[in-house]
Chain A
Amino acid sequence: MIQKQDMIIVSHKQIADHIFELTLRGSLTNEMTSPGQFVHVKIMNGSEPLLRRPISICSIDRENEQFTMLYRVSGSGSGTSTLSQLMKGFTVNVLGPLGNGFPVDELEEGQTALLVGGGIGVPPLYELSKRLTSRGVKVIHILGFQEQKVVFYKEEFTALGETYIATVDGSFGTKGFVTDVIDKLDVTIDGYYTCGPAPMLRAVEQKLSGVDGYISMEQRMGCGVGACLACVCHVQGDDTGTAYKKVCSDGPVFKSKVVVV
């Protein structure tokens, strides 16, 4: 069930250029079911900033009733820059968990999953990877970033499985895009999961068109619960042009070939 709760900051630190890791504690954590869901965060009381910010859940620690999210500070004076200044012990108001995440039971023990993330689309793949590996699924991670200084969670992902990094400027790992790494892979993939900017999602969906996959979409949001229609996307194969899916409540994760990325 979706809840609204003041959650306490138990840790908050910068882990790469403009990238922060925030861990919150509260019973709302118990409502989180699948990796890939997100929360809608009210950074300060009052009207500045006014709207909540959708942020993906990166990892869930049920035992301690806490979860971690990663976010990028989008510029000085932005809501996320205000968020980045909040210290341990402060509370932030969280609405969540929202949306439908990645299904983890579609792959069996011994099968291979390809997890492809780009930039701030990488975090939800971390909880997903933990769930898949705990089922005995073999995971391969391909993570794309702009440049070395914004790379994060390389060790965390490496601990779970094979991990390749691509940077656009070549300052770390393979020079180029995640699809350049996919081209070089020589394994049979049983399923893929991807989250990141739209051009990357499109390229991955196209490249892996013979494989079943799940795609997590990003869109600017208003309500986050399906009421305002800010976050809609078109549906593949719809001739009327009026069919749509809401990223916040029908997604953010969709089976491949369902929505127009």
Chain B
Amino acid sequence: MNRLAIELPGLSLKNPIMPASGCFGFGKEYSQFYDLSELGAIMIKATTKEARFGNPTPRVAETSSGMLNAIGLQNPGLDHVMANELPWLTQFDVPIIANVAGSTLEDYIDVARVISTAENVKALELNISCPNVKDGGIAFGTDPKTARELTARVKEVSEVPVYVKLSPNVTSITEMALAVEEGGADGLTMINTLVGMRLDRKTGNPIIANKTGGLSGPAIKPVAIRMVYEVSQRTALPIIAMGGVQDSYDVVDYLSAGASAVAVGTQNFVDPFACPAIIEDLSKIVKEWELEHILDLKGRSWGKHGKTANHRA
């Protein structure tokens, strides 16, 4: 038995590790470092209906144990992704999770309907949490009613299970999770970045051209852990967790808090070999800790409270 394999709605994962959306492009760049078939899955860059250039530069700034970014959903558009990026990825034995973004309900529906028909797209990730574009779906990600409605409408047209990516920039992320669960979501991915700023010491001006950016990296991990811990105990939906993962012990933390799989974002920039290194270390951990399966760790931080279904292969 593969002690790292995991079954989630639409997804048969060799292991619980996947690169997070926006931190891995469409895979080409990182394929020069290792075989992408080693990955549990790949979350591709947000795709919108039309091509987008994104925000002006500078788009990134380093912060203490983290970074700010305001890329602005730059992507080549749905047609190009369908005709080029997704077919290119079929050479690898790895399920693709397509990150879908838009500014209107119709945008999401149009992209979801088409992209969910690609043979290697096994699930959608509705990006209702991008903080870097005014019309980038964050409106859907901060109001429970609209989020529920969007989820339900996308579910109607999607050929594959739908995961919803939650924003931490809300008063109650649990309320958002329950709303999209009601809307028919098959799973949750969390968290997207936290809105932040960095100022130039001399001039006082924001360093990022967009003024604000999304904070990612180790700095946000405590926040994300807390959110996964809370949400996983309130919904039955499986969670793919992300936020500041650098090594296999961070993965253990997320599983302990209640996640079923884990995505790696910013760390790919620090170490392009991060994902395969973490996967290798996880196999060592299951052996050393004599676990029957990696998901034996799932929810162990909850204490005596309930146990949800293990999503094990």
Chain B residues contacting A244 (CB-CB under 8 Å) are 53, 74
Which residue from B29, B76, B266, B273 sits with its C-beta under 8 Å from A249? B29
- Tell me if A211 counts as interface (CB < 8 A to partner B): no
Chain B residues contacting A234 (CB-CB under 8 Å) are 53
* Nearest-neighbor residue (CB-CB) of A243 within chain B: B53
What's the Cα separation between A94 and B54 when bound, in Å? 30
Given A220-B57, A220-B60, A222-B60, residue A228 in contact with residue B218 (CB < 8 A): no
- Tell me if B268 counts as interface (CB < 8 A to partner A): yes
- Tell me if B25 counts as interface (CB < 8 A to partner A): yes
Chain A residues contacting B28 (CB-CB under 8 Å) are 226
Q: Are A222 and B53 in contact (CB under 8 A)?
A: no
Q: Are B58 and A220 in contact (CB under 8 A)?
A: yes
What's the Cα separation between A223 and B25 when bound, in Å? 10
Q: Are A228 and B64 in contact (CB under 8 A)?
A: no
Chain A residues contacting B217 (CB-CB under 8 Å) are 47, 50
- Tell me if B51 counts as interface (CB < 8 A to partner A): yes
Return the CB mask of A168-194 against B: 1 if under 8 Å, else 0.
000000000000000000000000000
Q: Are A224 and B269 in contact (CB under 8 A)?
A: yes
Chain A residues contacting B269 (CB-CB under 8 Å) are 51-52, 222-224, 227-228
Given A50-B67, A222-B60, A223-B269, residue A228 in contact with residue B22 (CB < 8 A): yes
Q: Are B246 and A242 in contact (CB under 8 A)?
A: no
- Tell me if A48 counts as interface (CB < 8 A to partner B): yes
Q: Are B57 and A219 in contact (CB under 8 A)?
A: yes
Q: Are A229 and B62 in contact (CB under 8 A)?
A: no
Return the CB mask of B231-271 against A: 1 if under 8 Å, else 0.
00000000000000010000000000000000000101111
- Tell me if B312 counts as interface (CB < 8 A to partner A): no
**Candidate in B69, B217, B269 with the most chain A CB atoms within 10 angstroms:** B269
Given A50-B66, A222-B67, A249-B29, residue A227 in contact with residue B53 (CB < 8 A): no
Q: How many A residues touch the partner, as a band?
A: 20 to 34
- Tell me if A114 counts as interface (CB < 8 A to partner B): no
* Nearest-neighbor residue (CB-CB) of B273 within chain A: A4
- Tell me if B59 counts as interface (CB < 8 A to partner A): yes
- Tell me if B65 counts as interface (CB < 8 A to partner A): yes
Q: Are A229 and B29 in contact (CB under 8 A)?
A: no
What's the Cα separation between A228 and B55 when bound, in Å? 13
- Tell me if A225 counts as interface (CB < 8 A to partner B): yes
Given A220-B60, A242-B53, residue A225 in contact with residue B69 (CB < 8 A): no
What's the Cα separation between A129 and B87 when bound, in Å? 44
Return the CB mask of A1-14 against B: 1 if under 8 Å, else 0.
11010000000000
Which residue from A50, A220, A222, A226 sits with its C-beta under 8 Å from B65? A50
- Tell me if B24 counts as interface (CB < 8 A to partner A): yes
CB distance from A203 to the nearest CB of B (A): 20
Chain A residues contacting B246 (CB-CB under 8 Å) are 47
- Tell me if A199 counts as interface (CB < 8 A to partner B): no
* Nearest-neighbor residue (CB-CB) of A1 within chain B: B32
What's the Cα separation between A224 and B57 when bound, in Å? 15
- Tell me if A95 counts as interface (CB < 8 A to partner B): yes
Number of chain B residues whose Cβ lies closer than 8 Å to a Cβ of chain A: 40
Give residues of chain B (24-82) contacting chain A, Cβ–Cβ below 8 Å.
24-25, 28-30, 32-33, 45, 51-54, 57-62, 64-67, 69, 71, 74, 76-77
* Nearest-neighbor residue (CB-CB) of B32 within chain A: A2
Chain A residues contacting B71 (CB-CB under 8 Å) are 228-230
What's the Cα separation between A47 and B250 when bound, in Å? 13
CB distance from A87 to the nearest CB of B (A): 23
* Nearest-neighbor residue (CB-CB) of B244 within chain A: A47
Give residues of chain B (267-312) contacting chain A, Cβ–Cβ below 8 Å.
268-273
**Candidate in B57, B71, B218, B246 with the most chain A CB atoms within 10 angstroms:** B57
Chain A residues contacting B53 (CB-CB under 8 Å) are 232, 234, 241-242, 244
Q: Are A79 and B29 in contact (CB under 8 A)?
A: no
What's the Cα separation between A241 and B23 when bound, in Å? 23
- Tell me if A107 counts as interface (CB < 8 A to partner B): no
- Tell me if A233 counts as interface (CB < 8 A to partner B): yes
Q: Are B54 and A232 in contact (CB under 8 A)?
A: yes
CB distance from B103 to the nearest CB of A (A): 16
- Tell me if A221 counts as interface (CB < 8 A to partner B): yes
Chain B residues contacting A95 (CB-CB under 8 Å) are 272
Chain B residues contacting A161 (CB-CB under 8 Å) are none
* Nearest-neighbor residue (CB-CB) of A234 within chain B: B53
Chain B residues contacting A224 (CB-CB under 8 Å) are 269
What's the Cα separation between A228 and B68 when bound, in Å? 12
A-B contact pairs, 22 of them (CB 8 A): A42-B270, A47-B218, A49-B62, A50-B65, A50-B218, A219-B57, A220-B58, A220-B59, A220-B60, A222-B60, A222-B67, A223-B29, A224-B269, A225-B29, A225-B30, A226-B28, A228-B22, A228-B25, A229-B74, A232-B57, A242-B76, A242-B77
Q: Which residues of A line the B interface, CB within 8 A?
A: 1-2, 4, 42, 47-52, 75, 79, 95, 219-234, 240-242, 244, 249
Which 6 pairs between the two chains have the least Cβ-Cβ distance? A227-B25, A227-B29, A230-B60, A223-B269, A47-B65, A242-B51
